[in-house]
Structure 1
Amino acid sequence: MTETKADRPAGEAKPRRRQARGERRIQQLLDAAADVFSRTGYAAASTNAIAREAGVSPGTLYQFFPNKEAIAVELGQRLTHQMREAHGVLFTPEYASLPLPEMLDSVIDPMVEFNCQNPVFLTLIHSGDVPGLMTEEHDALHVALQARLEELIELIQPALPADRRTRTATMVFSLFKAGLELVLAHEGEERDAYVEELKASLHGYLAPIIGAGMPSRAP
């Protein structure tokens, strides 16, 4: 039997609409918090400033978040999830068949794009008093991505000892993080130039280790 609108319990659609409005309000507050954190830093930010940025009263903000820390945790969790989804397709076995310059383009470009679109992510990570839960989740993601990179290096150069693969992956991430800060500190053509410098640095480091052209796949 097909259910009609009249058969549904009265008011069933209203809670769903309220939930949708609540989620939109939460996203509005998180977007405002991202702007405030990026502009002033986490320590100097306040719930009043976030509410003002969102165009709502502090009372409205407190309906959804009890304090600044809760906002940072929710924002950090959402960004970490987005990063996990975006970067989860990187360092796949298919990349092992690419020449080094193409592999760097395929891996670096989306990682840079994500961080340029979400500068608050590094702002929170670098803040000394950010809630520990956020840094724990970020560290777990970093460990997972580094493990994927080590697997990719093994596919390209299977004869490379395990400890050298670990050091190589660690150095690659360190170089990337250092270069990323320079990228985010600039805009326009200068930013693009620093992206190319970052790729050149990584190419110069990796080429003697895994080769600059097609992978050798030495036994």
Structure 2
Amino acid sequence: MSEETPESSAEQKPRRRQARGERRIAQLLQAAANVFCTNGYTAASTNAIAREASVSPGTLYQYFPNKEAIAVELGGRLLHQMRQMHGQAFTPANLALPLPELVDAVLDPMIEFNCRNPVFLALMHGSEIPGRIAEEHDALHASLLTSVQSLFDHHLPDHTPEDRTLKAEMTFAVVKGGLTLILAAPEGPERDAAVTELKTLVLRYLGPLIGNAPTAVAGTLTTTPTP
């Protein structure tokens, strides 16, 4: 067995400190997420976040100078994850699926992400979120809307661009509102029922438009061809 040299030991110490720092940052960000969900961004404070993380305010300030810096870091990480989910959901293969499978392929990752990260809606839709996060969220929103509109561009080529845009915006608004209700429902049967209801609503709207009229039967969704 080779002995540890002074040089290798010196290299390991910064790595260990870095790993501890990353764990501490993750702890603080999770605490901030809990506080933002409970109190909202505006009413949250660094002291409340420190208490939630079971650390002193001084420890928190070693990593973040203020609440805005915490929100920017947390929001940036969430937006990165959301962009990854977006890329996995809106693929050419998924967009070629039959309508019910397409709705599942797009909505399931989005619902899972928001249920796993309820702070996303709480933070992104706050009235006083940091400008940088608001700008990045608006860019992501525009990208998601463009992806939804591509569905209508493909299936409704004879409609005007303005009409296709309106239909995309309506679909997006329905999903956004449905996500809010899903998150408000307790985990279990009530949340599952809200998910089914959102999918039924989306299918009922999209079916006649893109040629697959959905039929809901005892909580399951099937399609029948539109004549």
- Following superposition, the deviation at residue 145 of structure 1 comes to 1.5
Shift of 1:159: 4.1
TM-score w.r.t. length of structure 1: 0.89
Distance across 1 between alignment mates of 2:95 and 2:133? 32
Match of 1:197 in 2: 197
Matched, 1:210 2:210: yes
Question: 2:220 maps to what in 1?
Answer: none
Quick one: which amino acid aligns to residue 15 of structure 2? R
**Counterpart-to-counterpart distance in 2, 1:119 and 1:185:** 10
Decide whether aligned partners of structure 1 residues 77 and 66 sit closer, same or farther in structure 2, where only a CA change above 3 A counts: same
Matches of 2:19 and 2:174, distance apart in 1 = 42
Rounded Cα–Cα distance in structure 2 between residues aligned with 1:59 and 1:96: 50
User: Where does structure 2 lack aligned partners over 5 or more consecutive residues?
Assistant: 214-222
Equivalent residue, structure 2, for 1:184:
183
Number of residue equivalences: 213
Aligned-pair identity (%): 58
Over aligned residues, Cα RMSD in angstroms? Answer: 2.1
User: Could you state the TM-score of these two structures normalised by the residue count of structure 2?
Assistant: 0.87
Distance 2:126 2:204 in 1: 31
Corresponding residue for 1:76?
75
The aligned residue for residue 219 of structure 2 is none
| CA distance in structure 2 between the aligned counterparts of 1:184 and 1:83, rounded to whole angstroms | 17
Letter in 1 for 2:80: H
Matched, 1:45 2:44: yes
Residues 31 and 53, structure 2, Cα contact 8 Å, conserved in 1: yes
Q: Report 1 or 2 for greater relative contact order, CA contacts < 8 Å, sequence distance ≥ 6.
A: 1
Q: Give CA deviations for 1:128-187 in whole Å, capped at 9, x if unaligned.
A: 111111111111111112212222333344444433322221111111011111111101
Structure 1 residue 56: Cα displacement: 0.7
Distance 1:130 1:153 in 2: 32
- The answer on whether the counterparts of 1:29 and 1:61 sit within 8 Å (CA) in structure 2 is yes
Query: Structure 1 CA distance, aligned partners of 2:111 and 2:9?
Result: 49
Q: What letter is aligned with 1:149?
A: V
Say yes or no: does 1:23 pair with 2:10: no
Structure 1 partner of 2:102: 103
- Match of 2:88, SS? coil
The letter of the residue matching 2:199 is K
Q: Bigger shift: 79-88 or 7-16?
A: 7-16
**Equivalent residue for 1:133?**
132
Contact 2:183–2:191 (Cα < 8 Å) also in 1: yes
- The answer on 1:86 being equivalent to 2:85 is yes
Q: Would you say the 8 A contact 1:92–1:148 is kept in 2?
A: no
Distance 1:52 1:65 in 2: 15
Check conservation: 2:37, 2:118, Cα contact below 8 A: yes
Deviation at 1:200, TM superposition (A): 1.1
> Which runs of 5 or more residues in structure 1 are unaligned?
none
Give the Å deviation of 1:61. 0.1
C-alpha contact (below 8 Å) 1:96/1:156 kept by paired residues: no
Structure-2 residue corresponding to 1:171? 170
